[in-house]
Structure 1
Amino acid sequence: MFRILLPLVLAVCLALPAQAQQALPDVLAEFGDQIAKPSRQTIGPVIDAIVDTGDPAAAALLQAWGDRVLGQRKTDGAFFVIAKDGDGWALTALDGSAAGTAAKADITELKPNAGVRELIAAALVQFTLSDPDPARRAQALESIARNPDAAHLEPVRESIAVETDPVLKSRKERLARILALRFGETPAERIEAIESFHGDIALDTRGALNPLLATSRRVATEIPAGTNIARRLTPGTDLTEAEAYDMLVTAGLAPARLTPEALKTALAANIVDGAVAGIPVAELNDQTRREAAFEALEASGAVPAAATDAEAEAAVAAHLFWDQYAEADSSVTDAARAALGSIETKVGLMTAADLGLDAISLASIYFLAAIGLAITFGVMGVINMAHGEFIMMGAYTGYVVQLFVPDYTLSIVIALPLAFAVTFAAGVAMERLVIRHLYKRPLETLLATFGISIALQQLFKNIFGTQARPLTAPAWLDGQLAFNDIIAISYIRVAIFVLALLFLGFFLWLMKRTRLGLETRAVTQNPAMAASMGIDPDRVAMMTFGLGSGIAGIAGVAIGLFAKVTSELGSDYIVQSFMTVVVGGVGNIWGTLAGAALIGGLQKVIEWLNPSNTLAAQTYMILFIILFIQFRPRGIIALKGRAAGD
């Protein structure tokens, strides 16, 4: 390893300003004993002297020493990199040349403890930061960021000037500012670094600023001059009287509080001739007399010191309590507080944006799940309780396709139209065999479709079992689209959002530009008039029901990419689908879109307000929907025509 370090050490030495330097052999001769038996408390100046020599062999020495492969020859005190060679050692000089072998007894192994190795690692940072390999430089930056130290500041700053990689240079400049805000030599330097992070919401920024505002609670009879106070504390308001007195006891400023049990035991043990400390036992029914007796015993040394309630109250009143910053300089804490304030404001805005993004994502899912229901409900007035099972059917179609097509991208491309075809056919069959015989009979239709829903769930449970089946997304949908440390959304959710937009466009094209759309709109507005114009309402109803079911199948493929594919998949979305349709406006695509946005946004807000209880979020949302319908029973965008009349 030390051979790799030699070129970079030369580069570092050339970059350093010319100055009088002590030669490495002289340093080793002067501090040889301390190197052989190092102590964390005293070895720091020795390591600095080794680094300051600028000798190319200094990095090799430090690296071998830290790796515990450095040995010292007993005869002349020379240092070598050692490796086991039979019963002895193979020696390598610090310049990388072979130096023969030596008997095991002739070499002293140098094994520094963990504390000394930390100092050695810190000294090696300046060499690693200028390593020719960008990966090693990046690794050094990560290592410093994990365990920052004051000794790292100058090496990081010095390495910036010779950094050729623009990305690494930017990281070094940022790391230098983070180190400066903690370890800068002057308050002005630290404040300048702190102010440079105003509005920076990165986690490492908050991780560096928060320790500057760390506080500890203190108590004394008076506050020392120059104390950086975070806030004064008032017993009874900011902390209880008991907590205040406990602080006095912990600080050794007061004895432990006298408990009723301890008082009773002390008095009983000191009864002499029917009295305690001269107070008759008959008078000890009074709390004041009991405390007076205890104080007399305490004064005589008969019992250990303890504070009565009155003494504790007096002690608390005689002391001051405050929160004190660990950082002594108030100007630094003021700057840190201002920077964190600006960051928290921005974090709040970013959190709101992230919540909005989650709401849009959830609304896209609900829109896909509900759009088919909106079509069938709006045109036919049929409450299809089996709509969720068409979603489930589409998800299982995608799973089956992946069993035969291992390419996940190709399998999804095949599954989408195939799921549409399968569920379209199932919807048409259901409409022809059941629904068409129950028109104008909503209760019977609801019960019949509910029965079909249960039957389909059991059928798929018998075919695929109760265990969740995987519907794997392509690799290019893995991960998430991250805008910063707060705002991020998975690529699967982005794909579902795009799919929802495509379906919105497809539906608008279908309804506005095709014959089926024209006939569907005509039947929706006035079925009798449409029939008189040569349109077959029965055929339109069949095609519409099939279309709504097919769209549900495609939604099932999309939902299955991130949800568990089981026979109960559809039941997880049927309630939200109905709420979306009813709130938006039955049979209106724009109403469905508005309803999905309202339901998705409302659910995310409630979950954010009450993140630990998702069941409560569902309950509150349903209550809101009930209240909403009371004031707007036809939904956000009411439909005109037959559905409106119904």
Structure 2
Amino acid sequence: MKTLLLALCFAMSFGHWAAAQAPSVQDVLQSQRALVEKSSRRTIGPAIDALVASGLPQMQNVLEVWQDKQMWQRRADGMFFTATENSDGTYTLQDFETGAQFEAVASSDLKQLKPNSGVRAMIATALVQFQLSDPDPAKRADALNSISRDPEAALLAPLRASIAGEMDADILARKTRLERLMSMAYDSDVPTRVAAITEMSGDLGVDFRATLNPILSTSLAIVPTDQTPDGNIAQEILVGGDALPSDAAYALLVEAEDAPAQVTQDARDAALEANIEGGRIAGFPIAQLSSEVTRDLAYDALVTQGLVPPRVTPDDIDASLANYRFFDVYAEPSAEVTTAAKAALNASEARVVISQAADLGLDALSLASIYFLAAIGLAITFGVMGVINMAHGEFIMMGAYTGYVVQLFVPNHTASILIAVPLAFVVTFAAGVALERLVVRWLYHRPLETLLATFGVSIALQQLAKNIFGTQARPLTSPAWLDGAWVINDVVSISYIRIAIFVLALLFLALFLFIMKRTRLGLETRAVTQNPRMAASMGINPDRVNMLTFGLGSGIAGIAGVAIGLFAKVTSEMGSDYIVQSFMTVVVGGVGNIWGTLAGAAMIGGFQKGVEFLNPSNTLAAQTYMIIFIIIFIQFRPRGIIALKGRAAGD
């Protein structure tokens, strides 16, 4: 029992002695006083390292105060404090370690430490090690952002140490991923690096590929033919192939001072001019040096006299190249690491190609949805009535401006869109009925006159829009819940607005099919489409059906205008951007067939996105190639993808 008590007393005494011997914050600061007082980016590194290496928990606060230029030094004894300014201009000092406050001192007795931007950046890097385990999740996230921007090998160990105690799932995932990436680049253990690379093989992240690229970076090594370069050889480059033509290889030898430089024509002529003596050059009269051959002879004569360097012949080039071999050598010395990195990068690039194809497919589907919405109304009027309505694009424009006007009075964007969609249908339905009653009905079966008349109406509507709304683009703001994009991975994403337009296109497809298959108007419309005379003899009024059909197609165009206006500019000319594609969609798909319109939109949207992907720098090429494609397509399928059936198919 006595032995236990003695041991306990000794342990307590030793603990107090060890605590007394442990350096305080002020001790550490004073040990680095000279560097802290005259801090510069070149000299401050050891001082910051000493503060961090002390292991004192208060050092995070010291570094933060120092970084914020709030650390003060008392001139009398050189001690460091944080200070609070009082109303009378004096400062109250506070101890870093205990938080104890001292009597107020005059500002003249203090010196404020103001580290420059370079020193503050170094302090910020040091703070990362503390912030990785800070109780505040925002500070931990900021620390990860700082490491991602400027990774260093010294930060790998504290990053690993902080993972075990991380409770936030999102930050834990970021820490784990960053630890794997930094292990690939900075870990000294080769198996650990290989394991990290293999674990993330095929990853689509840009940060993953950016980490692998420096590992796989190479430099050119030129060695004599009987030698091989030191280091991790990536490949030998054969001279004369596409990778290294002979002239480029010889230029590398010249740059490495392993072969004499070739004498160019300019250098030859300059040498000849510099050696003119008495109207002659090496015995050749200047008047005779009018050809390349004679100039070469004169130059060779100067070579014989030792006045100029000799010309390099093709045989000399071949002889020099035969004496050397060219290699690509990895900067990374470990062959295991580069092998794993190359396999991982190949897997990643393969997945990138697949993801790019998926992303292109989503873009094509989105564009097809837009074209379908723009063309569905035209498919009704053009397919049923045979009317070429060049003002169809202006109905799209009217719908977009209707949405803009609604938002002027209804600031809530969700509510305004819900009001604008039916209101745009009503406005453009009425405008379509008015156009049909006043113009189109008098021009049935006269396609050229109809085209010219509706084209004139489109110009008039554009000018009317300019007079009312001006020439500046007007905003049609989408609701907040449509902001952003659905990000599937680092390559594939699609905006929520385009998803909403795709859903809207499906809804209109279902609505149109319901109207055509389940309502009396649809039955009468199909009857008039198949055989107008027979429909009239059965009691159907073709004139009324044409009016309602034209109004329905115009109303759908107005709703399409609201949808398109959410991501495109709303101007008086916006309709003209879609009228050509709408006609092409209807013609390619099959006149008068809703499924054909859907297929035509998919074909045109996919073809346009494909051309844009292959030639992204020239968007006009996509339009040109698309028109050429459609012209060729119509030669083989003049009735479209899905031809109209019935007697009207022969019209």
Q: Could you tell me which residue of structure 1 aligns to residue 3 of structure 2? A: none
Matched, 1:427 2:432: yes
Deviations 1:116-152 (A, max 9, x none): 5554433322211111111111111111111110011
Alignment of 1:117-128 (within 5 A): 117-128=120-131
Q: Could you tell me which residue of structure 1 aligns to residue 6 of structure 2? A: none
Most deviating of 583-592 and 122-131: 122-131
Letter in 2 for 1:163: E
Q: Secondary structure of the residue that 1:98 maps to in structure 2?
A: coil
**How far does residue 274 in structure 1 lie from its aligned partner after superposition?**
9.2
Q: Could you tell me which residue of structure 1 aligns to residue 376 of structure 2? A: 371
Deviations 1:101-130 (A, max 9, x none): 667776666566666555443332221111
CA contact (8 A) 1:215 1:326 kept: yes
Q: Secondary structure of the residue that 1:466 maps to in structure 2?
A: coil
Alpha-carbon distance in 1 for matches of 2:414, 2:251: 65
CA contact (8 A) 1:379 1:587 kept: yes
Alignment of 1:208-607 (within 5 A): 208-221=211-224, 225-237=229-241, 238-254=243-259, 256-270=261-275, 280-281=283-284, 286=294, 289-296=297-304, 298=306, 308-309=312-313, 314-607=319-612
Alignment of 1:71-90 (within 5 A): 76=77, 78-81=79-82
**How far does residue 458 in structure 1 lie from its aligned partner after superposition?**
2.2
**How far does residue 256 in structure 1 lie from its aligned partner after superposition?**
4.9
Alpha-carbon distance in 2 for matches of 1:365, 1:633: 24
Letter in 2 for 1:564: K
Alignment of 1:633-644 (within 5 A): 633-644=638-649
Alpha-carbon distance in 2 for matches of 1:466, 1:478: 27
Q: Could you tell me which residue of structure 2 aligns to residue 7 of structure 1? A: none
**How far does residue 319 in structure 1 lie from its aligned partner after superposition?**
3.5
- Pairwise CA RMSD: 3.1
With over 3 angstroms needed to count, the CA separation of the structure-2 counterparts of 1:182 and 1:373, relative to structure 1, is: same
Alignment of 1:592-631 (within 5 A): 592-631=597-636
The one of 128, 149, 158 aligned to 2:161: 158
CA contact (8 A) 2:300 2:310 kept: no
Alpha-carbon distance in 2 for matches of 1:410, 1:37: 62
Alpha-carbon distance in 2 for matches of 1:638, 1:64: 77
Q: Could you tell me which residue of structure 1 aligns to residue 55 of structure 2? A: 54
**How far does residue 385 in structure 1 lie from its aligned partner after superposition?**
1.6
**How far does residue 495 in structure 1 lie from its aligned partner after superposition?**
1.4
CA contact (8 A) 1:194 1:336 kept: yes
Q: How many residues were matched structurally?
A: 622
With over 3 angstroms needed to count, the CA separation of the structure-2 counterparts of 1:289 and 1:442, relative to structure 1, is: closer
**How far does residue 508 in structure 1 lie from its aligned partner after superposition?**
0.9
Matched, 1:174 2:177: yes
With over 3 angstroms needed to count, the CA separation of the structure-2 counterparts of 1:318 and 1:520, relative to structure 1, is: same
| Structure 2 unaligned residues grouped into runs of 5+ | 1-18
Deviations 1:268-303 (A, max 9, x none): 544679987xx64469965665454444555xxx66
% identity of equivalent residues: 62
Alpha-carbon distance in 2 for matches of 1:105, 1:254: 70
CA contact (8 A) 1:398 1:557 kept: yes
Alpha-carbon distance in 1 for matches of 2:35, 2:416: 68
With over 3 angstroms needed to count, the CA separation of the structure-2 counterparts of 1:83 and 1:281, relative to structure 1, is: farther
TM-score (norm. length: structure 2): 0.87
Q: Could you tell me which residue of structure 2 aligns to residue 139 of structure 1? A: 142
Most deviating of 497-506 and 317-326: 317-326
Alpha-carbon distance in 1 for matches of 2:371, 2:65: 62
With over 3 angstroms needed to count, the CA separation of the structure-2 counterparts of 1:83 and 1:366, relative to structure 1, is: same
Most deviating of 320-329 and 104-113: 104-113
Alpha-carbon distance in 2 for matches of 1:455, 1:437: 19
CA contact (8 A) 1:389 1:571 kept: yes
Letter in 2 for 1:363: A
Letter in 1 for 2:231: T
Most deviating of 592-601 and 31-40: 31-40
Letter in 2 for 1:540: V
Letter in 1 for 2:209: R
Alpha-carbon distance in 1 for matches of 2:68, 2:396: 60
Letter in 1 for 2:449: E
**How far does residue 468 in structure 1 lie from its aligned partner after superposition?**
1.9
Most deviating of 636-645 and 367-376: 636-645
Q: Secondary structure of the residue that 2:126 maps to in structure 1?
A: helix
Alpha-carbon distance in 1 for matches of 2:419, 2:574: 21
With over 3 angstroms needed to count, the CA separation of the structure-2 counterparts of 1:31 and 1:391, relative to structure 1, is: closer
TM-score (norm. length: structure 1): 0.87
Alpha-carbon distance in 1 for matches of 2:571, 2:58: 65
**How far does residue 157 in structure 1 lie from its aligned partner after superposition?**
0.6
Alpha-carbon distance in 2 for matches of 1:54, 1:41: 24
CA contact (8 A) 1:22 1:52 kept: no
